[in-house]
Amino acid sequence: MDSVPYTESIFCLNYLTCMSFLAIFFLLAVIIVYLSVVIVQQGTVAVITIFGKYARVMTPGLNFKIPFIEFIYRRISIQNRSVELAFQAITADQANVNFKAMLVYSVLNQGEETIKNVAFKFIDEASFMQALIRTIEGSIRSFVATKRQSEILALRSEIIEHVKSQLDVLLETWGYHLTDLQLNDIAFDEVIMRSMAQVVASSNLKAAAENEGQALLITKTKAAEAEGNAIQISAEAEKKASQLRGQGVALFREEVAKGMAESAKVMTEAKLDASLILFSIWTEAIKHFAENGKGNVIFLDGSTEGMEKTMKQMLAVETMNTGAGAGSSSIITPPPAPGKR
C-alpha cells in the first residue's frame, strides 16, 4: 500500500525535472537565436571578428552570427558624409587668407579590402577625421603659399583640383573617396579688403571716365560731321544760286542789248535820231531813282560833256540797283535835246 504513493511521487518529481530542463533549454535556445540574429540597416555594413580577428562583412538585411564567438567589431556607413572646414593660409606676399570649405566624402566601394581598410586603418572615426582635415588644410596651404594675394580669388577651381589630385590616391589607401570639395568663402584681412575695395572703386571710376570721354568724343565728332555736312550743303546751294543769278544777269543783259539793237534799227529805218532811245532810257532811269532811291536830292548835269559821260554809263544801267545809301545823292547828266549833237 505504501509503494503506490511513493511511485507517484517519483513520477511527479521526474516530470517536473524534465519540464524544468525543457524550459531552460527553450530559454537558452531563444537567447541563442536572439544573439545570433543581426539586422544591418540599409546604407551600412557590419565588420565581424572572431576572437578579435577579422572574419567577414555583413551586408544590409538579416544576417546570423555565432553567439559568443563572432562579434560585431564596427558598423560602417557607406553613405556620403560631409564636414565643414575653417582655416587660414598665408600667400607668397604674406597676406592672410581665411577659407571656409565643405568636404563631401564616402567609402570607396563595398569591396572586402576596402571595408577592411576603413575598419582597421584608424583607431576610430575621430582619428580619421582629424587626419583628413589636416591633410586638406596642408594641401591648400602649400598651394596658396606659392601664389600672390591678388591671384587667389581667381584660382578657386585650381585650388580644388590641386587638393583632389593629392588626396585621391591617399584616400584610396584609407578606403575612402573624395566626392566633392567646395570653397564656399575666401576672405582676407579687413585692411586688405578695404584696399581691394578702393582698387575696384578706382578702376570703376577710371572706366566711367573713359566711357564718358568716348561718349563726349563721339558726340563732338558727330556734331562736327553734321556741321561740316550742313556747311557743304549750304555752300553747294549758294554756288548753285550764284550760278543761277549770274545766268539771270547775263540773260537780262542779252535781252537789253537785243532790245536796244532792235529799237536802234527801227529808229534808223524810220529816219529818226537814235538819241531818242538814249533820252528815253535816261528818263526811265531818273524815274526809277526817284521812286526807289533813298536820297533826297538828285543833281543833273545838262552840259554836252555830261551827256557823253552819261551815254557811257547807260551801257551798265542794269547794275544800278535800288540807289545809294541813306542821305546820299546821285549826279545824273541829262542827254541833249533830240536833233542836237
Mean pLDDT in each 10-residue stretch from start to end of the chain (341 residues)? 54 70 85 88 93 91 90 91 90 87 90 91 90 91 88 87 88 90 84 68 77 82 82 81 78 75 72 65 72 68 64 53 40 43 36
Q: Are residues 95 and 169 in the same domain?
A: yes
Count of CB atoms within 10 A of residue 78's CB? 18
Distance CA 267, CA 277 (A): 8
pLDDT of residue 1: 45
Find the angle CA(327)-CA(333)-CA(336) to the nearest 5 degrees.
Answer: 155
Dihedral angle sign, alpha carbons of residues 246, 252, 254, 257:
negative
Cα distance between residue 252 and residue 246, in whole Å = 10
The CATH number of whichever domain residue 160 belongs to comes to: 3.30.479.30
What is the model's pLDDT at position 312?
A: 62
Please tell me the predicted confidence (pLDDT) of residue 292: 73
Residues paired with residue 10 on neighbouring β-strands, in sequence order:
none
Residues 94 and 154 in one domain: yes
Number of domain units in the chain? 4
Q: Which residue type sits at 281?
A: I
Helix (H, G, I), strand (E, B), or coil: what is residue 188? strand
Q: What are the start-end ranges of the E strands in the chain?
A: 37-40, 44-50, 53-58, 61-64, 70-77, 81-90, 96-107, 176-188, 298-300, 330-332
Largest CA distance in the chain: 215
Q: Which pLDDT score is estimated for 298?
A: 66
Tell me, yes or no, whether 43 and 99 share the same domain.
Answer: no
Whether residue 222 sits in one domain with residue 155: no
Whether the pTM exceeds 0.85: the reply is no
Domain containing 107 equals 78-188
Based on the fold, state whether residues 288 and 261 are members of the same structural domain: no
Which of 57, 76, 95 terminates a domain? The answer is 76
